[in-house]
């Protein structure tokens, strides 16, 4: 008995009858459940196990064949093994095989009816065995290799797949099993950590979406529209990922007044190295909730930590959040110079605050390099903290002069290098520019990313983490935070709205729960379990089949499995494509299919019915053929190799036998190898193609292939070229002893008004979310005459957001103080509409061409039309044109004066219709609108589908302004509670001032089509001749279609849908003024009726007619 293994019997010969008797009638007391330790000859063991653990007897064996014998109704199976000895032998095919000997052998017996019993007999002389090391060991004298039991390996794989343990955790747990004897160490438990890490790599390879995660990242970019914004493969892998819903949340928070509150802050840092890439998350503080939770908004995946990589990411951030520079949002980050430069380049008005922890950590590291002991290190760190806590720069300089006298010279030299960062990015007086941001104990840190560590740490357990797995994990993580934000707004969940933002709450029925919601702790495990499903979907979507047929039309496709005359399937006559699991279409209608290759004679059956998959590596084959045709391939007989000259003039040695090799770093199927094969007439294409992942790894230099979690590789950062000491540049550089303080950044206005028509904090799919209308500043709420009860109250939209202004002139308007800033709606009133002047560089002389205009266009409007760079079409001119339309198209209603658009009155804080209002019109209807934001659009209601469309030639967000909501409700409302508006993506204007011309062009297109709309294809106007065409029409007194380019109707039109809510009985939209909700309830359900404040005629709680009658 050897530690759980029991010798069943001793014999040199084992007859078949004895074998059957033992396997059918075993003695359970002599059965073993663990493998023996180096058994001796003539020993017989009976194993009762369902695994192959019995094979791990700490010898190395070579399989010598199997044999089956039928005994009655049962089958006896025999497995023969011979002992393995050191060395290898060469076979005729060039392969090397291990050396074996029959001097010591073993035979395993099993019955088909008793598969769980294995009888093993050892024969010969066990002393012939010589210990052999692992075949992949690189040591000159490797230790003896012993095989680990398969059951142990399966247990390790299960622990790895759970995603809850690291390789070291699994290894420690395995070797901590006290029941494993010393003889079975490495057999019944893990051999070493390297073995566990190899299993981790194996599991990762199996659970990837595909073997090529870079290619699969591109697939995910198409499948997850809007989440993956950019993917760059060459020269380095870079990708930007962010959910649009999270971007919308941040844009809302940028409009919240934070002057008397905790400021809105961005945190950015490069986290651990995951696999072959770094991850840099951009996180923010959600200031409308208690505890100000930290949430990720975007991620940068990058292979190198270069400045241009971070600069491209912050270009994306600047385009996604255009209000950052206006509100001077601070960025908290570390001392990485490339990262800081990238932020300051894209956000010049924002401060970059450096983390105190990084300053202290850098100081400690350099002190250790200088040989400082622990007590001196603690003293220097305390001095640095005292300097950082200085109230002003003057106090800092005084304290520094006092402390620096006691410091060592090397410490003084290092401190002078880091002093610039303290003065401009880390001092308390710098942080105090933002109220409530400074912490008296830690100052300012960028440890806000700790909220994501539950996921990041689990991801770091995978040494070879694929980038596609990481992207899916971050997708689930952001969806989790978006769901928590919605729950917080509805008054449930972990996040609680602060009192001052209670007006931002939403009802529970407006929560839009993501389809797949996973908690952070199990995100990675969930992603791994979903890999197979996504892999199947991707493979089905990207299988391409090309048919080869000599028959032009109606050809019958050869069945994958033919049938014989008796109706049975004949596998020998099956098509080759059946082995590849590719399904060909039964027929192709309406298309002519030409043969791809026509080498065989015409009309042959093989060519007419053969099926082949699409060619791969066409570009590589083309280069190979070009190389051969140019005579760039030669064979060197003495070296048995081909010399192939590449496209850049370099010569590479290529061998085809016994293995295909090439000196280039590309892959085993590079075009050099293809050219050599083509040179000798070999066109066999059975070799596998190395994927993008393998290609990128092969091209890396040795010092670029591995690195630690945080430590970058040697070539990851930018190469800094320092000037020589005697160079001219070095003489011009004078290190500043006392750097000048940076000028104060532009401060935010004292009363920042929240844009009224922002996207909601919930995802944009929620149709009725009215949160933005509630996010008005407290000062504005006090100015309104609201009832005491604020439980059922919606605030009106004042339409005064600067962010909705569309700049239509060649240069931006002059900057004014916030107190005197007028709203766009007030600047566009018909009575006080100022003349917009073009910039000085656009004041070109008037055209000398003599034009004859209609009577309803005055001389000033003529000048607007004929100048070379005209300003936008004025209101009065549009009114004149509208009158002309009414005369030209009497069968179409609409064409009302644009001066009827409402105006926001700053005095009363309400919308005014003192110039009149639009009247309801029947179908077909068309109208030109002034949006109140220096912009013109066209609305219409067609005869064919009765839908209401708004054609906007400038907007990218396709939103409706409050003024436009009021106008559309007046024309198309007809008493509806919900008005659905469709905004097709029509042709965009090429500049900022032709919105009026495009509005007229879209209107004419509708009128000439008889009041019908057709948005299946996009109309393409000729931009260069549109204004001249309008002049000609006004000159002649009638209108014709605007000129269109030759590629008209080439592009499909994408449609956006918006809704206008008209809850009040007056039929006007909700955004007209503040609304009261009925306080009545039916059981626990609150009444859903709302009314405008002016229509309620009450100052207290308002009840609808139904609930008023029950009181």
Nearest-angstrom CA–CA distance, 554 and 602: 17
Q: Confirm whether 825 is domain-assigned.
A: no
Q: If DSSP codes are grouped into helix, strand and coil, which group holds residue 1065?
A: coil
Question: Does pLDDT of 26 surpass 80?
Answer: yes
Question: Does pLDDT of 851 surpass 70?
Answer: no
Question: Does pLDDT of 587 surpass 90?
Answer: no
Q: Which domain holds residue 28?
A: 9-147
Q: Look up residue 664 and give its DSSP letter.
A: S
| CA terminus-to-terminus distance, the chain | 92
> What does the pLDDT read at residue 229?
93
Q: Confirm whether 651 is domain-assigned.
A: yes
* DSSP-derived pairing of the beta strands 266-268 and 331-333: parallel
617-620: long-range contacts (C-beta < 8 A, 24 or more apart)? 617/669, 617/674, 617/689, 620/669, 620/670, 620/671, 620/674
pLDDT tier at 465, thresholds 50, 70, 90:
low
Question: Does pLDDT of 819 surpass 50?
Answer: no
Question: Does pLDDT of 315 surpass 70?
Answer: yes
> What does the pLDDT read at residue 59?
92
Q: Please compute the mean of the pLDDT values over residues 321-334 and round it to a whole number.
A: 85
> What does the pLDDT read at residue 67?
93
pLDDT digit string, tens, across residues 938-967? 999 888 888 899 999 888 888 888 888 888
Question: Does pLDDT of 772 surpass 60?
Answer: no
b/e map 218-245, b = 16+ CB within 10 Å = bbbbeeeeebbbebeeeeebbbbbbbeb
pLDDT tier at 66, thresholds 50, 70, 90:
very high
Do residues 24 and 105 share a domain? yes
58: left (phi over 0), alpha (psi -120 to 50) or beta: left
756: left (phi over 0), alpha (psi -120 to 50) or beta: alpha
Q: Please compute the mean of the pLDDT values over residues 672-688 and round it to a whole number.
A: 76
What's the distance, CA 1030 to chain centroid?
45
Of 781 and 218, the one with more pLDDT: 218
pLDDT tier at 707, thresholds 50, 70, 90:
low
Flag the least confident range among 136-150, 193-207, 561-575. 561-575
Question: Does pLDDT of 936 surpass 80?
Answer: yes
Strand boundaries in 616-745, DSSP class E: 633-636, 641-645, 651-655, 661-662
The DSSP-derived string for 392-425 is SHHHHHHHHHHHGGGS-HHHHHHHHHHHHHIIII
pLDDT tier at 719, thresholds 50, 70, 90:
low
Do residues 116 and 20 share a domain? yes
Strand boundaries in 112-256, DSSP class E: 114-124, 228-232, 238-241
Q: Please compute the mean of the pLDDT values over residues 714-721 and round it to a whole number.
A: 63
Look up tokens 């202290």; give the residue.
360
Do residues 218 and 290 share a domain? yes
Tell me which range, 67-71, 223-227, 367-371, 404-408, is most confidently predicted by mean pLDDT.
67-71
Number of compact structural domains in the chain: 7
In this structure, the dihedral spanned by the alpha carbons of residues 341, 342, 343 and 349, taken in order and rounded to 10 degrees, is 70
Do residues 898 and 967 share a domain? yes
Of 984 and 581, the one with more pLDDT: 984
Do residues 159 and 139 share a domain? no
Task: Give the containing element (helix H, strand E) for 956.
Answer: none
The DSSP-derived string for 350-377 is S-EEEPHHHHHHHHHHHHHHTT--HHHH
Q: Confirm whether 239 is domain-assigned.
A: yes
Q: If DSSP codes are grouped into helix, strand and coil, which group holds residue 732?
A: helix
What's the distance, CA 532 to chain centroid?
20
> What does the pLDDT read at residue 867?
44
Q: Please compute the mean of the pLDDT values over residues 640-652 and round it to a whole number.
A: 82
Q: Please compute the mean of the pLDDT values over residues 346-367 and round it to a whole number.
A: 86
Do residues 18 and 133 share a domain? yes
Do residues 199 and 237 share a domain? no
Q: Look up residue 1105 and give its DSSP letter.
A: H
Percent of the chain's residues with pLDDT above 90:
11
Nearest-angstrom CA–CA distance, 548 and 598: 9
Question: Does pLDDT of 345 surpass 60?
Answer: yes
> What does the pLDDT read at residue 913?
72
Flag the least confident range among 303-312, 806-815, 931-940, 1042-1051. 806-815
Do residues 1081 and 1050 share a domain? no
Q: Confirm whether 1006 is domain-assigned.
A: yes
> What does the pLDDT read at residue 572?
36
Contact 634, 640 (CB under 8 A): no
Question: Does pLDDT of 219 surpass 60?
Answer: yes
| Tokens coding 1054 | 């994408």
pLDDT tier at 72, thresholds 50, 70, 90:
confident
| Tokens coding 430 | 């710098």
Q: Which of 206, 225, 246 is a domain's end point?
A: 206
> What does the pLDDT read at residue 138?
78
Question: Does pLDDT of 475 surpass 60?
Answer: yes
Question: Does pLDDT of 823 surpass 90?
Answer: no
Q: Which CATH number does the domain housing residue 116 bear? A: 2.20.25.80
Q: Please compute the mean of the pLDDT values over residues 726-732 and round it to a whole number.
A: 61
Phi, psi values for residue 12, rounded to 5°: -90, -20
Average model confidence (pLDDT) across the chain: 73
Question: Does pLDDT of 881 surpass 80?
Answer: no
Nearest-angstrom CA–CA distance, 108 and 80: 7
Query: In sequence order, which residues have a C-beta less than 8 Å from that of residue 845 and are 6 or more positions away?
Result: none
> What does the pLDDT read at residue 914?
63
Question: Does pLDDT of 664 surpass 60?
Answer: yes
Question: Does pLDDT of 432 surpass 70?
Answer: yes
Strand boundaries in 688-826, DSSP class E: 793-794
Percent of the chain's residues with pLDDT above 70:
66
pTM above 0.75? no
Q: Please compute the mean of the pLDDT values over residues 738-742 and round it to a whole number.
A: 44
A 10 A CB-CB count for 1060 gives 23
Task: Please return the burial class of 510, using the count of CB atoms within 10 Å of its CB with bins 0-12, 13-18 and 19+.
Answer: middle
Q: Confirm whether 333 is domain-assigned.
A: yes
Q: Confirm whether 730 is domain-assigned.
A: no
Phi, psi values for residue 1026, rounded to 5°: -75, -45
Do residues 285 and 181 share a domain? no
Question: Does pLDDT of 751 surpass 50?
Answer: no
Question: Does pLDDT of 1001 surpass 60?
Answer: yes
Q: Confirm whether 160 is domain-assigned.
A: yes
Do residues 141 and 155 share a domain? no
Flag the least confident range among 207-221, 257-271, 534-548, 897-911. 534-548
Phi, psi values for residue 694, rounded to 5°: -65, -35
Do residues 87 and 234 share a domain? no
Q: Confirm whether 796 is domain-assigned.
A: no
Q: Please compute the mean of the pLDDT values over residues 740-768 and round it to a whole number.
A: 41
In angstroms, the Cα distances linking 54 to 36, 304, 510, 915 are 8, 49, 62, 96
> What does the pLDDT read at residue 946?
83
The DSSP-derived string for 853-903 is --TTS-HHHHHHHHSSS--PPPHHHHHHHHHHHHHH-TTSEE---GGGS-E
pLDDT digit string, tens, across residues 81-131? 999 998 888 877 778 888 999 999 999 999 988 888 999 999 999 999 999
Of 533 and 767, the one with more pLDDT: 533
Nearest-angstrom CA–CA distance, 97 and 669: 26
Do residues 1014 and 941 share a domain? yes
């Amino acid at each position: 008995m050897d530690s759980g293994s029991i010798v069943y019997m001793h014999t040199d010969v084992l007859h078949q009858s004895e074998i059957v008797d033992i396997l059918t009638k075993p003695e359970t007391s002599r059965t073993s459940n663990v493998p023996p330790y180096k058994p001796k000859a003539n020993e017989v063991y009976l194993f009762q196990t369902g695994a192959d653990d019995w094979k791990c007897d700490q010898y190395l064996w070579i399989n010598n064949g199997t044999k089956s014998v039928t005994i009655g109704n049962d089958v006896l199976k025999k497995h023969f093994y011979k002992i393995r000895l050191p060395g290898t032998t060469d076979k005729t095919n060039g392969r090397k095989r291990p050396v074996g000997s029959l001097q010591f052998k073993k035979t395993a017996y099993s019955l088909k009816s008793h598969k769980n019993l294995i009888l093993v007999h050892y024969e010969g002389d066990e002393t012939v065995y010589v210990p052999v090391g692992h075949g992949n060991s690189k040591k000159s004298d490797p230790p003896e290799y012993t095989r680990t039991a398969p059951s142990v390996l399966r247990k390790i794989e299960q622990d790895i797949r759970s995603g809850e343990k690291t390789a070291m955790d699994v290894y420690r747990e395995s070797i901590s099993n006290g029941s494993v004897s010393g003889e079975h160490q490495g057999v019944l438990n893990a051999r070493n950590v390297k073995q566990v890490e190899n299993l981790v790599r194996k599991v990762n390879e199996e659970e990837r979406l595909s073997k090529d995660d870079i290619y699969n990242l591109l697939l995910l970019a198409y499948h997850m529209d809007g989440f993956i914004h950019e993917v760059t493969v060459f020269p380095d892998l870079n990708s930007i990922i962010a959910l649009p819903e999270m971007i919308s949340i941040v844009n809302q928070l940028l409009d919240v007044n934070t002057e008397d509150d905790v400021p809105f802050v961005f945190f950015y840092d490069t986290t651990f190295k995951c696999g072959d890439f770094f991850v840099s998350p951009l996180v923010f503080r959600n200031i409308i909730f208690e505890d100000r939770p930290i949430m990720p908004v975007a991620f940068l995946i990058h292979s190198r930590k270069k400045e241009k990589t971070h600069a491209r990411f912050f270009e994306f951030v600047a385009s996604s959040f255009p209000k950052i520079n206006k509100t001077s949002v601070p960025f908290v980050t570390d001392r990485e110079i490339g990262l800081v430069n990238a932020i300051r380049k894209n956000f010049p008005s924002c401060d970059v605050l450096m983390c105190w922890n990084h300053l202290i950590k850098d100081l400690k590291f350099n002190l250790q390099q200088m040989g400082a002991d622990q007590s001196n290190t603690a003293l220097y760190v305390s001095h640095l903290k005292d300097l950082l806590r200085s109230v002003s720069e003057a106090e800092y300089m005084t304290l520094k002069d006092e402390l620096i006298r006691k410091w060592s010279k090397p410490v003084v030299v290092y401190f002078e290098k880091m002093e610039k960062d303290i003065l401009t990015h880390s001092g308390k007086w710098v942080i105090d520019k933002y109220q409530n941001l400074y912490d008296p104990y830690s100052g300012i840190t960028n440890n806000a990313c700790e909220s994501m560590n539950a996921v990041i740490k689990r991801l770091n357990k995978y040494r070879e983490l694929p980038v596609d797995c990481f992207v899916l994990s971050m997708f689930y993580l952001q969806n989790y935070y978006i769901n928590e934000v919605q729950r917080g707004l509805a008054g449930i969940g972990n996040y609680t709205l602060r009192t001052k933002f209670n007006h931002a709450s939403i009802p529970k029925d407006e929560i839009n729960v993501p389809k797949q919601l996973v908690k952070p702790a199990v995100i990675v495990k969930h992603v791994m379990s979903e890999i197979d499903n996504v892999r199947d979907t991707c493979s089905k979507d990207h299988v391409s089949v090309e048919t080869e047929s000599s028959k032009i039309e109606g050809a019958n496709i050869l069945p994958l499995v033919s049938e014989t005359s008796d109706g049975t399937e004949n596998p020998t006559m099956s098509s080759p494509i059946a082995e590849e699991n590719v399904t060909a279409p039964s027929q192709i209608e309406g298309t002519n299919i030409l043969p791809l290759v026509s080498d065989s004679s015409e009309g042959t059956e093989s060519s007419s019915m053969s099926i082949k998959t699409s060619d791969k590596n066409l570009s590589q084959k083309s280069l190979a053929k070009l190389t051969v045709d140019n005579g760039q391939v030669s064979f060197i007989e003495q070296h048995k190799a081909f010399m192939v000259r590449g496209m850049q003039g370099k010569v590479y040695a290529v061998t085809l036998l016994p293995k295909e090799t090439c000196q280039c770093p590309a892959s085993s199927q590079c075009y050099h190898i293809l050219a050599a094969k083509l040179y000798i007439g070999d066109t066999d294409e059975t070799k596998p193609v190395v994927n993008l992942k393998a290609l990128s790894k092969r091209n890396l230099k040795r010092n670029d292939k591995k690195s630690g979690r945080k430590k970058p590789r040697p070539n990851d950062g930018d190469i800094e070229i320092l000037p020589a000491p005697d160079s001219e540049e070095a003489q011009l550089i004078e290190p500043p002893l006392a750097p000048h303080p940076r000028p104060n950044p532009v401060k935010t206005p004292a009363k920042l008004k929240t844009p009224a028509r922002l996207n909601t904090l919930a995802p944009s799919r929620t149709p009725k979310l009215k949160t933005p209308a509630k996010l008005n500043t407290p000062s504005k709420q006090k100015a309104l005459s609201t009832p005491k009860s604020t439980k059922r109250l919606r605030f009106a939209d004042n339409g005064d957001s600067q962010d909705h202004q569309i700049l239509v002139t060649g240069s931006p308007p002059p900057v004014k103080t916030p107190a005197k800033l007028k709203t766009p709606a007030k600047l566009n009133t018909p009575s006080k509409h100022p003349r917009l002047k073009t910039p000085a560089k656009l004041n070109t002389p008037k055209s000398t061409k003599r034009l004859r205009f209609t009577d309803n266009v005055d001389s000033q409007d003529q000048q607007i039309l004929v100048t070379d760079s005209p300003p936008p079409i004025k209101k009065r001119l549009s009114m004149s044109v509208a009158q002309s339309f009414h005369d030209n198209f009497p069968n179409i209603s609409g064409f009302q004066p644009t001066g009827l658009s409402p105006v926001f009155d700053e005095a009363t804080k309400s919308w005014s219709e003192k110039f009149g209002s639009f009247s309801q019109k029947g179908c077909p209807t068309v109208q030109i609108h002034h949006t109140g934001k220096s912009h013109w659009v066209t609305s219409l209601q067609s005869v064919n589908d009765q839908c209401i469309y708004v054609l906007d030639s400038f907007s990218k967000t396709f939103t409706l302004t409050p003024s436009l909501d009021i106008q559309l409700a007046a024309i198309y409302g007809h008493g509806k509670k919900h008005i659905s508006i469709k905004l097709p993506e029509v042709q965009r204007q090429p500049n900022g001032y032709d919105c009026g011309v495009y509005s007229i062009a879209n209107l004419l297109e509708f009128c000439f089509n008889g009041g019908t709309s057709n948005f299946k294809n996009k109309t393409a106007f000729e931009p260069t001749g549109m204004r001249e065409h309008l002049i000609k029409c006004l000159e002649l007194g009638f209108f014709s279609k605007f000129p269109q380019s030759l590629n008209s109707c080439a592009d499909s039109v994408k449609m956006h849908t918006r809704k206008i809510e008209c809850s009040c009985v007056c039929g006007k939209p909700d955004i007209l003024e503040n609304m009261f909700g009925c306080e009545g309830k039916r059981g626990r359900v609150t009444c859903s009726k709302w009314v405008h404040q002016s229509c309620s005629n009450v100052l207290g709680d308002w009840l609808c007619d139904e609930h008023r009658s029950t009181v």
